Amino acid sequence: MTKRIKYDPDNIFAKILRGDMPCVKICEDDDILAFMDIFPQSKGHSLVIPKRAKATMIFDIDPDELSGLTLGVQKVAKAIDKALEPDGVRIVQFNGSESGQTIFHIHFHIIPVYAGAPVRPHAGGAPADTAVLTEIAAKIAAAL
């Protein structure tokens, strides 16, 4: 059984939601916040998080909040597909540290995949240039 982690209201995504930490925002509505992953695995790698849920994993989230979250994921994935024209798109959601989860606030990764371009490891490498992320986020936002 996956080890349950208690929700920490000071996790980095909670801080982003409160405005205590910056992010490169793509879009936001009543249910979700979508922003660029600071450690992108590929060009356009984005994250979608719920705004109200205090859940660490898919096991913990209220079904109505999960519904809003997945609709937001679909919306952002479509915009990424339109704006960046990748050859494929991975949608990933980790549950528990053994699965690769590093931030314990439920979230989905949207990772564009480009033929011939390697996908970098999860949560690895150096942070991306914020100016580059801002430019990509603007293209995705314009496609919404």
| Residues forming the active site | 107
Distances (CA, A) of 107 to 14, 32, 43, 53, 54: 11, 10, 19, 10, 11
Indicate the DSSP class of residue 92: E
Among candidates 23, 46, 33, 48, which has minimal Cα distance to 108? 48
In sequence order, which residues have a C-beta less than 8 Å from that of residue 45 and are 6 or more positions away? 36, 37, 109, 110, 111, 112
Distance CA 61, CA 18 (A): 19
Distance CA 118, CA 42 (A): 8
